[in-house]
Protein backbone atom coordinates (compact mmCIF):
# COMPACT_ATOMS: atom_id res chain seq x y z
CA UNK A 1 0.00 0.00 0.00
CA UNK A 2 2.59 2.51 -1.07
CA UNK A 3 0.03 5.26 -1.67
CA UNK A 4 -1.70 5.23 1.73
CA UNK A 5 -0.98 8.15 4.07
CA UNK A 6 -3.15 7.68 7.17
CA UNK A 7 -6.71 7.50 8.43
CA UNK A 8 -8.48 10.84 8.57
CA UNK A 9 -11.77 12.00 10.08
CA UNK A 10 -14.11 13.00 7.31
CA UNK A 11 -15.62 15.72 9.52
CA UNK A 12 -12.86 17.43 11.54
CA UNK A 13 -9.88 16.13 9.49
CA UNK A 14 -7.98 14.80 12.54
CA UNK A 15 -5.42 12.24 11.38
CA UNK A 16 -4.97 8.77 12.87
CA UNK A 17 -2.49 5.96 12.20
CA UNK A 18 -3.46 2.98 10.02
CA UNK A 19 -5.17 0.91 12.70
CA UNK A 20 -8.52 -0.86 13.21
CA UNK A 21 -10.45 2.31 14.10
CA UNK A 22 -13.69 3.65 12.66
CA UNK A 23 -14.77 6.74 14.60
CA UNK A 24 -13.03 10.00 15.46
CA UNK A 25 -12.47 10.41 19.18
CA UNK A 26 -13.21 14.14 19.01
CA UNK A 27 -16.38 14.38 16.92
CA UNK A 28 -17.32 10.72 16.25
CA UNK A 29 -17.07 11.39 12.50
CA UNK A 30 -16.18 8.44 10.25
CA UNK A 31 -12.51 7.74 9.60
CA UNK A 32 -11.49 7.25 6.00
CA UNK A 33 -8.28 6.16 4.31
CA UNK A 34 -6.27 9.13 2.99
CA UNK A 35 -4.07 8.52 -0.05
CA UNK A 36 -1.26 10.34 -1.76
CA UNK A 37 -3.14 10.79 -5.02
CA UNK A 38 -0.10 12.19 -6.88
CA UNK A 39 1.65 8.95 -6.20
CA UNK A 40 -1.42 6.95 -7.33
CA UNK A 41 -1.67 8.97 -10.55
CA UNK A 42 1.99 8.31 -11.33
CA UNK A 43 1.58 4.58 -10.75
CA UNK A 44 -1.51 3.91 -12.86
CA UNK A 45 -2.42 4.14 -16.52
CA UNK A 46 -5.18 2.65 -18.62
CA UNK A 47 -2.61 0.21 -19.94
CA UNK A 48 -1.33 -0.89 -16.54
CA UNK A 49 -4.88 -1.54 -15.38
CA UNK A 50 -5.84 -3.39 -18.57
CA UNK A 51 -2.88 -5.71 -18.14
CA UNK A 52 -3.95 -6.59 -14.58
CA UNK A 53 -6.00 -9.62 -13.51
CA UNK A 54 -9.68 -9.94 -14.48
CA UNK A 55 -10.72 -9.24 -10.90
CA UNK A 56 -11.11 -6.18 -8.70
CA UNK A 57 -7.40 -6.47 -7.91
CA UNK A 58 -6.57 -4.82 -11.24
CA UNK A 59 -7.28 -1.59 -9.28
CA UNK A 60 -5.00 -2.41 -6.34
CA UNK A 61 -3.26 0.99 -6.52
CA UNK A 62 -6.49 2.55 -5.25
CA UNK A 63 -6.88 0.09 -2.36
CA UNK A 64 -5.38 0.27 1.16
CA UNK A 65 -3.71 -3.16 1.17
CA UNK A 66 -0.85 -5.04 -0.49
CA UNK A 67 -2.07 -6.97 -3.51
CA UNK A 68 0.53 -9.70 -2.93
CA UNK A 69 -1.22 -10.74 0.28
CA UNK A 70 -4.78 -10.33 -1.05
CA UNK A 71 -7.41 -12.74 0.22
CA UNK A 72 -8.80 -13.24 -3.26
CA UNK A 73 -11.57 -15.64 -4.24
CA UNK A 74 -11.73 -14.08 -7.70
CA UNK A 75 -14.06 -11.19 -7.04
CA UNK A 76 -15.02 -8.47 -9.44
CA UNK A 77 -14.67 -7.52 -13.08
CA UNK A 78 -18.25 -8.71 -13.37
CA UNK A 79 -20.23 -8.26 -16.60
CA UNK A 80 -21.64 -4.91 -17.70
CA UNK A 81 -24.50 -5.92 -19.97
CA UNK A 82 -26.12 -3.73 -22.58
CA UNK A 83 -29.74 -4.43 -21.57
CA UNK A 84 -31.40 -3.90 -24.94
CA UNK A 85 -34.63 -5.74 -24.16
CA UNK A 86 -35.28 -4.07 -20.82
CA UNK A 87 -34.14 -0.75 -22.31
CA UNK A 88 -36.69 -1.08 -25.13
CA UNK A 89 -39.42 -1.73 -22.61
CA UNK A 90 -38.49 1.30 -20.54
CA UNK A 91 -37.62 3.58 -23.46
CA UNK A 92 -33.85 3.72 -22.95
CA UNK A 93 -31.35 3.11 -25.77
CA UNK A 94 -28.25 2.81 -23.60
CA UNK A 95 -29.28 0.95 -20.49
CA UNK A 96 -26.62 -1.23 -18.89
CA UNK A 97 -26.93 -3.70 -16.04
CA UNK A 98 -23.87 -4.08 -13.85
CA UNK A 99 -24.41 -7.67 -12.82
CA UNK A 100 -22.58 -8.01 -9.52
CA UNK A 101 -24.67 -10.98 -8.49
CA UNK A 102 -22.14 -13.25 -10.21
CA UNK A 103 -19.38 -12.66 -7.66
CA UNK A 104 -18.06 -15.71 -5.76
CA UNK A 105 -20.68 -15.46 -3.00
CA UNK A 106 -23.28 -13.94 -5.33
CA UNK A 107 -23.29 -10.33 -4.19
CA UNK A 108 -21.16 -7.17 -4.38
CA UNK A 109 -20.11 -7.72 -0.76
CA UNK A 110 -17.15 -9.79 -1.91
CA UNK A 111 -15.51 -6.52 -2.95
CA UNK A 112 -15.35 -4.83 0.47
CA UNK A 113 -14.78 -8.12 2.27
CA UNK A 114 -11.83 -9.12 0.07
CA UNK A 115 -10.11 -5.87 1.07
CA UNK A 116 -11.05 -6.24 4.74
CA UNK A 117 -9.99 -9.87 5.12
CA UNK A 118 -6.62 -8.88 3.63
CA UNK A 119 -6.30 -5.98 6.06
CA UNK A 120 -7.41 -8.13 9.01
CA UNK A 121 -4.54 -10.55 8.35
CA UNK A 122 -2.17 -7.59 8.14
CA UNK A 123 -3.38 -6.46 11.58
CA UNK A 124 -2.93 -10.05 12.79
CA UNK A 125 -6.54 -10.63 13.80
CA UNK A 126 -7.62 -14.26 14.31
CA UNK A 127 -11.35 -13.65 14.02
CA UNK A 128 -13.27 -12.08 11.13
CA UNK A 129 -16.76 -10.94 12.16
CA UNK A 130 -19.69 -8.98 10.81
CA UNK A 131 -23.25 -7.89 11.38
CA UNK A 132 -25.25 -8.55 8.27
CA UNK A 133 -28.55 -8.23 6.46
CA UNK A 134 -27.63 -11.45 4.68
CA UNK A 135 -25.23 -11.01 1.79
CA UNK A 136 -22.35 -9.79 3.88
CA UNK A 137 -22.27 -12.82 6.16
CA UNK A 138 -21.90 -15.23 3.26
CA UNK A 139 -19.00 -13.22 1.99
CA UNK A 140 -17.30 -12.90 5.39
CA UNK A 141 -17.68 -16.63 6.02
CA UNK A 142 -16.20 -17.49 2.60
CA UNK A 143 -13.26 -15.12 2.87
CA UNK A 144 -12.57 -16.24 6.44
CA UNK A 145 -12.49 -19.83 5.21
CA UNK A 146 -10.06 -18.90 2.45
CA UNK A 147 -7.87 -16.92 4.85
CA UNK A 148 -7.90 -19.64 7.52
CA UNK A 149 -9.55 -17.35 10.06
CA UNK A 150 -12.29 -18.07 12.57
CA UNK A 151 -15.51 -16.33 11.53
CA UNK A 152 -18.46 -14.99 13.56
CA UNK A 153 -21.53 -13.69 11.79
CA UNK A 154 -24.41 -11.85 13.45
CA UNK A 155 -27.75 -11.38 11.71
CA UNK A 156 -31.38 -10.54 12.46
CA UNK A 157 -33.07 -13.88 13.09
CA UNK A 158 -35.83 -13.45 10.46
CA UNK A 159 -33.54 -13.50 7.39
CA UNK A 160 -34.21 -15.54 4.26
CA UNK A 161 -33.12 -19.20 4.40
CA UNK A 162 -30.98 -18.82 1.27
CA UNK A 163 -28.84 -16.26 3.02
CA UNK A 164 -28.61 -18.20 6.28
CA UNK A 165 -27.67 -21.51 4.63
CA UNK A 166 -25.55 -19.74 2.04
CA UNK A 167 -23.39 -18.41 4.87
CA UNK A 168 -23.49 -21.42 7.20
CA UNK A 169 -21.98 -23.69 4.56
CA UNK A 170 -18.57 -22.01 4.92
CA UNK A 171 -18.44 -22.97 8.61
CA UNK A 172 -18.76 -19.73 10.59
CA UNK A 173 -20.25 -19.38 14.07
CA UNK A 174 -23.76 -18.20 13.25
CA UNK A 175 -25.40 -15.82 15.72
CA UNK A 176 -29.13 -15.14 15.16
CA UNK A 177 -29.99 -11.93 17.00
CA UNK A 178 -33.58 -11.29 18.06
CA UNK A 179 -34.82 -8.02 16.58
CA UNK A 180 -34.03 -5.80 13.62
CA UNK A 181 -30.74 -5.26 11.83
CA UNK A 182 -30.35 -1.89 13.55
CA UNK A 183 -30.63 -3.57 16.96
CA UNK A 184 -28.10 -6.23 15.95
CA UNK A 185 -25.83 -3.48 14.67
CA UNK A 186 -25.97 -1.56 17.96
CA UNK A 187 -25.23 -4.77 19.85
CA UNK A 188 -22.27 -5.58 17.61
CA UNK A 189 -20.83 -2.07 18.05
CA UNK A 190 -20.72 -2.84 21.76
CA UNK A 191 -19.19 -6.27 21.13
CA UNK A 192 -16.53 -4.74 18.89
CA UNK A 193 -15.37 -2.76 21.93
CA UNK A 194 -15.24 -5.86 24.10
CA UNK A 195 -13.55 -8.46 21.84
CA UNK A 196 -10.46 -8.19 19.69
CA UNK A 197 -12.21 -9.24 16.50
CA UNK A 198 -12.01 -7.73 13.04
CA UNK A 199 -15.63 -6.63 12.65
CA UNK A 200 -15.57 -5.85 8.94
CA UNK A 201 -18.24 -3.14 9.04
CA UNK A 202 -17.42 -1.71 12.47
CA UNK A 203 -13.80 -1.35 13.56
CA UNK A 204 -12.56 -2.29 10.06
CA UNK A 205 -15.04 -0.05 8.29
CA UNK A 206 -12.57 2.46 6.78
CA UNK A 207 -10.88 -0.35 4.83
CA UNK A 208 -14.08 -2.27 4.15
CA UNK A 209 -15.81 0.70 2.54
CA UNK A 210 -12.93 1.15 0.08
CA UNK A 211 -13.67 -2.14 -1.67
CA UNK A 212 -16.94 -0.86 -3.09
CA UNK A 213 -15.13 1.87 -5.04
CA UNK A 214 -14.06 -0.81 -7.50
CA UNK A 215 -17.61 -0.85 -8.91
CA UNK A 216 -17.12 2.77 -9.98
CA UNK A 217 -13.77 1.97 -11.62
CA UNK A 218 -15.08 -1.09 -13.39
CA UNK A 219 -18.13 0.53 -14.89
CA UNK A 220 -16.02 3.44 -16.18
CA UNK A 221 -13.44 1.10 -17.71
CA UNK A 222 -16.09 -1.16 -19.22
CA UNK A 223 -17.83 1.79 -20.89
CA UNK A 224 -14.57 2.52 -22.72
CA UNK A 225 -12.94 4.71 -20.05
CA UNK A 226 -15.92 6.97 -19.66
CA UNK A 227 -18.26 7.55 -16.73
CA UNK A 228 -21.97 6.96 -17.42
CA UNK A 229 -24.57 9.76 -17.49
CA UNK A 230 -26.60 8.04 -14.77
CA UNK A 231 -25.99 5.46 -12.04
CA UNK A 232 -28.86 3.92 -10.10
CA UNK A 233 -27.63 2.29 -6.89
CA UNK A 234 -29.60 0.40 -4.21
CA UNK A 235 -29.46 2.09 -0.80
CA UNK A 236 -29.22 0.47 2.64
CA UNK A 237 -26.57 2.28 4.72
CA UNK A 238 -25.89 4.56 1.73
CA UNK A 239 -22.23 3.58 1.68
CA UNK A 240 -22.28 1.78 -1.69
CA UNK A 241 -23.79 4.87 -3.33
CA UNK A 242 -21.10 7.18 -1.92
CA UNK A 243 -18.26 4.81 -2.70
CA UNK A 244 -19.22 4.20 -6.35
CA UNK A 245 -19.12 7.96 -6.76
CA UNK A 246 -15.79 8.14 -4.93
CA UNK A 247 -14.44 5.56 -7.40
CA UNK A 248 -15.55 7.64 -10.37
CA UNK A 249 -14.06 10.79 -8.85
CA UNK A 250 -10.75 9.05 -8.15
CA UNK A 251 -10.55 7.80 -11.74
CA UNK A 252 -11.15 11.35 -12.89
CA UNK A 253 -8.50 12.68 -10.50
CA UNK A 254 -5.95 10.16 -11.78
CA UNK A 255 -6.61 11.30 -15.35
CA UNK A 256 -8.03 7.92 -16.41
CA UNK A 257 -11.38 9.40 -17.50
CA UNK A 258 -12.65 12.83 -18.52
CA UNK A 259 -14.59 14.95 -16.05
CA UNK A 260 -17.63 12.94 -14.98
CA UNK A 261 -21.11 14.42 -15.13
CA UNK A 262 -22.76 11.34 -13.70
CA UNK A 263 -26.04 11.77 -11.86
CA UNK A 264 -25.89 9.40 -8.90
CA UNK A 265 -29.43 8.18 -8.15
CA UNK A 266 -30.33 6.15 -5.07
CA UNK A 267 -33.09 3.51 -4.85
CA UNK A 268 -34.69 2.39 -1.58
CA UNK A 269 -37.75 0.30 -0.77
CA UNK A 270 -40.95 2.07 0.25
CA UNK A 271 -40.91 0.30 3.64
CA UNK A 272 -37.43 1.52 4.50
CA UNK A 273 -36.50 4.73 2.70
CA UNK A 274 -34.96 7.07 5.31
CA UNK A 275 -32.41 8.58 2.90
CA UNK A 276 -34.98 9.14 0.14
CA UNK A 277 -37.32 10.74 2.68
CA UNK A 278 -34.61 13.17 3.82
CA UNK A 279 -33.82 13.92 0.17
CA UNK A 280 -37.45 14.66 -0.64
CA UNK A 281 -38.00 16.84 2.41
CA UNK A 282 -34.75 18.76 1.94
CA UNK A 283 -33.23 17.62 5.26
CA UNK A 284 -29.49 17.25 5.81
CA UNK A 285 -30.03 14.76 8.59
CA UNK A 286 -31.56 11.35 8.08
CA UNK A 287 -34.34 10.50 10.49
CA UNK A 288 -34.19 6.80 11.39
CA UNK A 289 -37.17 4.56 10.61
CA UNK A 290 -38.32 1.09 11.68
CA UNK A 291 -38.04 -0.98 8.50
CA UNK A 292 -40.97 -2.90 7.09
CA UNK A 293 -39.91 -4.16 3.71
CA UNK A 294 -39.55 -7.42 1.83
CA UNK A 295 -36.15 -6.14 0.64
CA UNK A 296 -34.37 -7.38 3.74
CA UNK A 297 -30.89 -6.71 2.39
CA UNK A 298 -31.87 -3.02 2.29
CA UNK A 299 -33.64 -2.97 5.67
CA UNK A 300 -31.38 -0.55 7.51
CA UNK A 301 -33.50 2.07 9.26
CA UNK A 302 -30.55 3.96 10.69
CA UNK A 303 -28.16 4.35 7.72
CA UNK A 304 -24.57 5.09 8.77
CA UNK A 305 -23.60 6.87 5.54
CA UNK A 306 -26.98 8.58 5.14
CA UNK A 307 -25.71 12.19 5.37
CA UNK A 308 -22.97 11.53 2.79
CA UNK A 309 -25.33 9.74 0.47
CA UNK A 310 -27.55 12.85 0.61
CA UNK A 311 -24.52 14.98 -0.22
CA UNK A 312 -23.75 12.84 -3.28
CA UNK A 313 -27.38 13.01 -4.43
CA UNK A 314 -27.36 16.81 -4.23
CA UNK A 315 -23.84 17.36 -5.54
CA UNK A 316 -24.38 15.24 -8.66
CA UNK A 317 -27.99 16.19 -9.41
CA UNK A 318 -29.18 12.68 -8.64
CA UNK A 319 -32.61 11.70 -7.37
CA UNK A 320 -33.57 9.64 -4.35
CA UNK A 321 -36.38 7.34 -5.40
CA UNK A 322 -38.25 4.54 -3.69
CA UNK A 323 -39.90 1.44 -5.11
CA UNK A 324 -43.43 0.60 -3.92
CA UNK A 325 -43.39 -2.63 -1.93
CA UNK A 326 -45.84 -4.33 -4.28
CA UNK A 327 -43.68 -3.48 -7.30
CA UNK A 328 -40.46 -5.11 -6.04
CA UNK A 329 -41.29 -8.62 -7.24
CA UNK A 330 -42.49 -7.15 -10.56
CA UNK A 331 -39.04 -5.56 -10.89
CA UNK A 332 -37.34 -8.90 -10.26
CA UNK A 333 -39.50 -10.66 -12.84
CA UNK A 334 -39.15 -7.91 -15.41
CA UNK A 335 -35.34 -8.16 -15.30
CA UNK A 336 -35.48 -11.95 -15.43
CA UNK A 337 -37.96 -12.02 -18.32
CA UNK A 338 -36.14 -9.44 -20.43
CA UNK A 339 -32.45 -9.99 -19.74
CA UNK A 340 -32.19 -13.47 -18.22
CA UNK A 341 -30.85 -12.14 -14.92
CA UNK A 342 -32.44 -13.32 -11.68
CA UNK A 343 -31.76 -10.79 -8.93
CA UNK A 344 -32.77 -10.64 -5.30
CA UNK A 345 -35.24 -8.15 -3.80
CA UNK A 346 -32.67 -5.31 -3.75
CA UNK A 347 -32.34 -5.67 -7.53
CA UNK A 348 -36.14 -5.64 -7.80
CA UNK A 349 -36.07 -2.32 -5.95
CA UNK A 350 -33.54 -0.97 -8.45
CA UNK A 351 -35.48 -2.04 -11.56
CA UNK A 352 -38.80 -0.83 -10.22
CA UNK A 353 -37.21 2.50 -9.20
CA UNK A 354 -35.61 2.81 -12.63
CA UNK A 355 -39.03 2.57 -14.18
CA UNK A 356 -40.22 5.42 -11.95
CA UNK A 357 -37.19 7.61 -12.75
CA UNK A 358 -37.76 7.22 -16.48
CA UNK A 359 -41.45 8.04 -16.06
CA UNK A 360 -40.53 11.16 -14.08
CA UNK A 361 -38.35 12.25 -17.00
CA UNK A 362 -35.15 12.11 -14.95
CA UNK A 363 -33.41 9.87 -17.49
CA UNK A 364 -33.51 10.56 -21.22
CA UNK A 365 -33.67 7.98 -24.00
CA UNK A 366 -30.17 8.54 -25.36
CA UNK A 367 -28.33 8.82 -22.04
CA UNK A 368 -25.97 6.11 -20.82
CA UNK A 369 -27.50 4.59 -17.68
CA UNK A 370 -26.07 1.93 -15.40
CA UNK A 371 -28.38 0.08 -13.00
CA UNK A 372 -26.51 -1.83 -10.27
CA UNK A 373 -27.78 -5.34 -9.60
CA UNK A 374 -25.89 -6.40 -6.51
CA UNK A 375 -27.31 -9.73 -5.35
CA UNK A 376 -28.60 -13.06 -6.62
CA UNK A 377 -32.27 -14.06 -6.72
CA UNK A 378 -31.75 -17.61 -5.50
CA UNK A 379 -31.00 -16.17 -2.05
CA UNK A 380 -34.44 -14.61 -1.59
CA UNK A 381 -36.70 -17.29 -3.10
CA UNK A 382 -39.34 -17.05 -0.37
CA UNK A 383 -39.95 -13.38 -1.22
CA UNK A 384 -41.15 -14.49 -4.66
CA UNK A 385 -44.26 -16.09 -3.19
CA UNK A 386 -46.16 -18.85 -4.90
CA UNK A 387 -45.93 -17.65 -8.50
CA UNK A 388 -45.22 -20.93 -10.29
CA UNK A 389 -48.17 -22.47 -12.10
CA UNK A 390 -46.93 -25.45 -14.10
CA UNK A 391 -48.89 -27.44 -16.65
CA UNK A 392 -49.34 -30.76 -14.86
CA UNK A 393 -49.45 -33.66 -17.26
CA UNK A 394 -49.13 -37.38 -17.58
CA UNK A 395 -46.21 -38.40 -19.82
CA UNK A 396 -48.66 -38.79 -22.67
CA UNK A 397 -49.02 -36.78 -25.91
CA UNK A 398 -52.81 -36.24 -25.99
CA UNK A 399 -53.13 -35.04 -22.40
CA UNK A 400 -50.24 -32.66 -22.87
CA UNK A 401 -51.55 -31.23 -26.14
CA UNK A 402 -55.01 -30.58 -24.68
CA UNK A 403 -53.57 -28.87 -21.62
CA UNK A 404 -51.09 -26.87 -23.69
CA UNK A 405 -53.72 -25.46 -26.02
CA UNK A 406 -55.86 -24.53 -23.04
CA UNK A 407 -52.94 -22.69 -21.48
CA UNK A 408 -52.17 -20.81 -24.68
CA UNK A 409 -55.78 -19.65 -25.21
CA UNK B 1 -31.03 6.97 41.44
CA UNK B 2 -28.21 5.44 39.48
CA UNK B 3 -27.99 4.67 35.77
CA UNK B 4 -25.27 2.66 34.10
CA UNK B 5 -23.75 4.27 30.99
CA UNK B 6 -21.71 2.27 28.49
CA UNK B 7 -18.68 4.22 27.24
CA UNK B 8 -17.45 3.40 23.71
CA UNK B 9 -13.74 3.13 22.87
CA UNK B 10 -13.36 6.62 21.30
CA UNK B 11 -14.37 8.21 24.65
CA UNK B 12 -12.27 6.11 26.96
CA UNK B 13 -9.35 8.53 26.98
CA UNK B 14 -11.71 10.97 28.68
CA UNK B 15 -12.92 8.35 31.17
CA UNK B 16 -9.42 7.17 32.09
CA UNK B 17 -10.05 3.89 30.33
CA UNK B 18 -13.35 3.14 32.11
CA UNK B 19 -15.89 1.34 29.88
CA UNK B 20 -18.82 1.99 32.24
CA UNK B 21 -19.92 4.84 34.43
CA UNK B 22 -22.65 5.04 37.06
CA UNK B 23 -24.34 8.43 37.06
CA UNK B 24 -27.50 10.16 38.28
CA UNK B 25 -30.19 11.87 36.23
CA UNK B 26 -33.74 11.34 35.05
CA UNK B 27 -33.33 12.44 31.42
CA UNK B 28 -30.63 11.78 28.82
CA UNK B 29 -29.47 15.39 28.96
CA UNK B 30 -29.21 15.23 32.77
CA UNK B 31 -27.20 12.01 32.41
CA UNK B 32 -24.79 13.73 30.03
CA UNK B 33 -24.42 16.71 32.41
CA UNK B 34 -23.72 14.33 35.26
CA UNK B 35 -21.17 12.41 33.14
CA UNK B 36 -19.46 15.70 32.35
CA UNK B 37 -19.03 16.58 36.00
CA UNK B 38 -17.44 13.17 36.56
CA UNK B 39 -15.33 13.32 33.39
CA UNK B 40 -14.90 16.96 32.39
CA UNK B 41 -14.91 17.48 28.62
CA UNK B 42 -17.04 14.47 27.72
CA UNK B 43 -20.08 16.60 26.89
CA UNK B 44 -18.22 18.55 24.21
CA UNK B 45 -17.35 15.24 22.52
CA UNK B 46 -20.99 14.19 22.46
CA UNK B 47 -22.76 17.48 21.79
CA UNK B 48 -22.19 20.41 19.48
CA UNK B 49 -21.97 24.05 20.62
CA UNK B 50 -25.73 24.43 20.83
CA UNK B 51 -26.03 21.38 23.06
CA UNK B 52 -27.53 19.08 20.42
CA UNK B 53 -26.23 15.56 20.06
CA UNK B 54 -23.60 15.37 17.30
CA UNK B 55 -24.82 13.70 14.12
CA UNK B 56 -22.46 10.74 14.44
CA UNK B 57 -23.39 9.83 18.00
CA UNK B 58 -26.30 7.53 18.80
CA UNK B 59 -27.66 7.08 22.31
CA UNK B 60 -29.82 4.15 23.37
CA UNK B 61 -31.84 3.65 26.55
CA UNK B 62 -32.34 -0.06 27.19
CA UNK B 63 -31.57 -0.70 23.53
CA UNK B 64 -34.03 1.88 22.14
CA UNK B 65 -32.67 4.74 20.00
CA UNK B 66 -33.57 8.01 21.77
CA UNK B 67 -34.62 9.46 18.41
CA UNK B 68 -37.63 7.12 18.65
CA UNK B 69 -38.26 8.48 22.18
CA UNK B 70 -38.03 12.14 23.25
CA UNK B 71 -34.47 12.75 22.11
CA UNK B 72 -32.30 14.40 24.76
CA UNK B 73 -35.34 14.76 27.02
CA UNK B 74 -36.09 11.02 26.97
CA UNK B 75 -36.80 9.76 30.46
CA UNK B 76 -34.37 7.46 32.26
CA UNK B 77 -35.15 5.41 35.36
CA UNK B 78 -32.97 3.93 38.02
CA UNK B 79 -31.48 0.66 36.80
CA UNK B 80 -31.77 1.57 33.10
CA UNK B 81 -28.87 1.01 30.77
CA UNK B 82 -27.74 3.88 28.61
CA UNK B 83 -25.43 3.11 25.72
CA UNK B 84 -23.38 5.61 23.71
CA UNK B 85 -22.55 4.20 20.29
CA UNK B 86 -20.67 5.73 17.35
CA UNK B 87 -23.11 5.99 14.45
CA UNK B 88 -20.58 4.98 11.86
CA UNK B 89 -21.06 1.25 11.82
CA UNK B 90 -22.80 -1.39 9.82
CA UNK B 91 -24.26 -1.74 6.42
CA UNK B 92 -22.70 -1.73 3.02
Give the residue on B whose Cα is nearest the Cα of A244: B92
| pTM for this model (two decimals) | 0.96
Spatial distance between the Cα atoms of A269 and A170, rounded to a whole number of angstroms: 30
Q: How confident is the model at residue B88 (pLDDT cuts 50, 70, 90)?
A: confident
Give the pLDDT of residue B91.
Answer: 63
With an 8 Å Cβ cutoff, is B67 touching chain A?
A: yes
Confidence of residue B23 (pLDDT cuts 50, 70, 90): very high
> In chain B, which residues have their Cβ closer than 8 Å to the Cβ of A24?
10, 56
B89 pLDDT tier (thresholds 50, 70, 90): confident
Nearest alpha carbon to residue A138 among A161, A175, A169, A111: A169
Distance between CA atoms of residues A250 and A311, nearest Å:
17
Q: Please state the three-class secondary structure of chain A as a single string.
A: CCCEEEEEECCCCCEECCCCCCECCCCCCEEEEEECHHHHHHHCCHHHHHCCCCCHHHHHHHCCCCHHHCCCCCCCCCCEEECHHHHHHHCCCCEEEEEHHHCCCCECCHHHHHHHHHHHHHCCCCEEEEECCCHHHHHHHHHHHHHCCEEEEEEECCCCHHHHHHHHCCCCEEEEECCCHHHHHHHHHHHHHHCCCEECCCCCHHHHHHCCHHHHHHHHHHCCCCCCCEEEEECCCCHHHHHHHHHHHHHHHCCCCCCCCCEEEEEEECCECHHHHHHHHCCCCCCCCCCCCCCHHHCCCCCCCHHHHHHHHHHHCCCEEEECHHHHHHHHHHHHHHHCCCECHHHHHHHHHHHHHHHCCCCCCCCCEEEEECEEHHHHHHHHCCCCCCCCCCCCHHHHHHHHHHHHC
- Do residue B90 and residue A237 have CB atoms under 8 angstroms apart? yes
Of residues B46, B58, B90, nearest to A201 (C-beta): B90
Q: Which chain A positions have a beta carbon within 8 Å of B9's beta carbon?
A: 193
Tell me the mean pLDDT in the region B44-72. Answer: 93
With an 8 Å Cβ cutoff, are B45 and A202 in contact? no
pLDDT of residue A409: 84
**pLDDT, position A1:** 63
pLDDT in the model for residue B20? 95
User: What is the spatial order of strands in the sheet that B64-65 belongs to?
Assistant: B20-23, B3-6, B81-86, B57-61, B64-65
Are residues A190 and B6, on separate chains, in Cβ contact within 8 Å?
yes
Instruction: Give the closest of B6, B45, B90 to A185, CB-based.
Output: B90
Question: Is the ipTM reported for this complex over the cut 0.90?
Answer: yes
Given strand A80-82, what is the order of strands in its sheet? A80-82, A95-99, A369-373, A230-234, A263-269, A320-323
- CA–CA min distance A206, chain B (Å): 10
Residues B43 and B72 sit within 8 Å (Cβ to Cβ): no
pLDDT tens profile A376-403: 999 999 999 999 999 999 999 999 999 9
CA distance A301 to chain B (A): 10
Q: Say how many CB pairs under 8 Å bridge A and B.
A: 108
Distance (Å, rounded) from C-alpha A205 to C-alpha A116? 8
Q: Write the pLDDT tens digit of every residue in A116-168.
A: 999 999 999 999 999 999 999 999 999 999 999 999 999 999 999 999 999 99
User: Which residue ranges in chain A fall short of pLDDT 50?
Assistant: none
Q: Which residues of B touch A23 (CB under 8 A)?
A: 8, 10, 56, 86, 88
Mutate to test the interface with B, among A23, A139, A308 (most CBs of B within 10 A): A23
pLDDT of res. B1: 65
Whether B54 and chain A come into contact, CB under 8 Å, resolves to yes
The nearest alpha carbon in chain B to A29 belongs to B56
Domains of chain A plus CATH, in order, are 4-71+109-208 (3.40.50.1100), 80-106+212-384 (3.40.50.1100)
Q: Which residue of B has its CA nearest to A201?
A: B90
CATH number of B3-86: 3.10.20.30
Closest residue in chain A to residue B67, using alpha carbons only = A288
Amino acid sequence: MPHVKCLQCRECKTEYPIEPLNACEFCFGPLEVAYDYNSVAKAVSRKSIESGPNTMWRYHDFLPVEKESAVDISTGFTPLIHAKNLGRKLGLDHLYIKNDSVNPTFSFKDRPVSVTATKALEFEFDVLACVSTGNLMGSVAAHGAKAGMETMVFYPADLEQGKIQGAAVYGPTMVAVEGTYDQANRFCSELADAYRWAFVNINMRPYYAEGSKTLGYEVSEQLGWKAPDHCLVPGASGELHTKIWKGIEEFEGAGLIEKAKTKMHLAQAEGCAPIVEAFETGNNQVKPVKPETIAKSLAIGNPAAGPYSLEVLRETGGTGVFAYEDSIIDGIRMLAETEGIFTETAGGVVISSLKRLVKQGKIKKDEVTVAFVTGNGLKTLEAMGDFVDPIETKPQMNTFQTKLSKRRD
Amino acid sequence: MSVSVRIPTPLRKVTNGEDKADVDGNTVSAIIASLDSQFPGIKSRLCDDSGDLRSFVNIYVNGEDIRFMDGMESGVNSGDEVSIVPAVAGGN
